[in-house]
Amino acid sequence: MSITNSNAEGMTSQLTRPLNSLITLCLTRLSRRNETLAPAPTHVSHHDIRVPVRNGQTSAGDHIKTLFDCDLPADKENETFVKCLEKAQLQGPGIRFVVIGSENYVGKWLNGGRRGHGLNYKCFAQQFVSSPVGPGQRNFFEQTLLLGEVQYDDITKQLNDMAQAEGIEQTNIKYGENKVYDRMVEEASIRCQRRLANIVRCIARCSLRPICISGGNEDILGLGYGVHLGRTIARGTPSNLTLGNFDCHGDYKNLEERGAHSGNGFSFLNTIGILKKYAVLGLTPYENRESMMEHLISTNCWYRYLDDISLIGAPNRPSLYESLLDMIKALDAEDDEVPGLCVDLDVTEDLTTVSCPATLGFTRAQVHELVQEFTRYNKPFFLLLAEGMPDPMIPLSEGINRTLGKYQAGLVACFLRNCISVPHI
């Protein structure tokens, strides 16, 4: 089913109407040095992660903060949550970065991707807190708050209940097979993005830099919209976005195709008028439709195909580093613009624990260096790592899941290390 222009306008109006005042999070709590954790307050949803104990060595989890180390909010109201974040900024070295998890299957399903199992944030967090602290690293870990994961269970439960009431079997259903179900999922996707935006708005309002560990690239919509709202409140003037994306897919499809999903988050931000510049590096020509590329070109976005980059020093094509500099130049932000970076993990070749594995892409070392250099030059305010999907049949701390967790933890640490010299805003 194609979505009409009026339906697309309806989706944008759903996203941009005033957000509610409730925070819905499953908070992260760290167990350090074999300490016995006191019972959590009954109003707080949480999960515990144990920080490993190594003789003569500290881990990142010994220095990273959680809301359990600060004053927990007494309720779920926005203003209480904001005050809690403001207090965290004043403790010790002060919090500058907030890590948040977000994963729901609806946006990926709308784009034909694999649903995932809600394990990506936990997979990342366990490896992140277990990271050894090397020389000069303690400082940026101490300024990081590991917040927790956005909860979408009530939205997906309502979707399941509605489908059951309509007699719809969801197991193998695909988009376009049932118009009623399609519309249900589209509305659920918008609700998920509004919920993420509500939390990110509070973070950005406090001038804290959000880092989102996401199951799908549709979360750039909630993350970007939340940053826009939060920075606009903090600055007192409209704050639009300039976004860089390392990705083999452009994720810039027309809104008329399938609602808000993992393939059109950036074009959605452009449609609502807050994305001023967009650049994507690493596209593969046989995985991006002509209609999407035409849309990308028509809105003056910068892009470069992987085939147009020399990874071996060929003289007739720009090198990867030269391509990165061209990308950064295209994203040169004005004073009223907020820069951000998205890394779609499917740009990494032969990484199977993603929702859409690619056989051609950058190596993990190349992605790491791209994040390092982009962060150093562009100074992004926020980071999105998207599309990680651990294998549910393997323990999160073993095999390919451990590799995925360490890979994401390394990229976040790289972002933190290169952002730490950026002045606090």
In tens digits, the chain (425 residues) has pLDDT values of 233 455 566 667 777 777 776 778 899 999 887 677 777 776 678 888 888 887 778 899 999 999 888 877 777 778 888 888 888 887 767 899 999 999 877 766 666 666 666 899 999 999 999 999 988 888 899 999 999 999 988 888 888 888 888 888 777 777 778 888 888 888 888 888 999 999 999 999 999 999 999 988 889 999 999 999 999 999 999 999 999 999 998 888 877 656 677 778 898 899 889 999 999 999 998 888 888 899 899 999 999 999 999 998 898 999 999 999 999 999 997 888 999 999 999 999 989 888 878 778 999 999 999 999 999 999 999 999 998 999 999 999 999 999 999 999 999 999 999 987 655 55
SS3 assignment, position 221: helix
d(CA 361, CA 363): 7
Helix, strand, coil: what percent of the chain each, to 5?
A: 40, 20, 40
Distances from the Cα of 42 to the Cα of 65, 85, 151, 411, angstroms: 21, 20, 16, 34
Asked if residues 240 and 413 have their Cβ atoms less than 8 Å apart, the reply is no
User: What structural domains does the chain harbor?
Assistant: 5-419 (3.40.800.10)
Query: How distant is the alpha carbon of residue 370 from its chain centre?
Result: 17
Q: Which residues pair with 121 in a beta bridge?
A: none
- pTM metric for this prediction: 0.92
User: How confident is the model at residue 93, as a pLDDT?
Assistant: 76
d(CA 367, CA 307): 16
User: How confident is the model at residue 2, as a pLDDT?
Assistant: 33
Token digits of residue 40: 């959590």
Query: Which helix (H) or strand (E) segment is 380 a member of?
Result: none
Instruction: Count CB atoms within 10 A of the CB of residue 122.
Output: 20
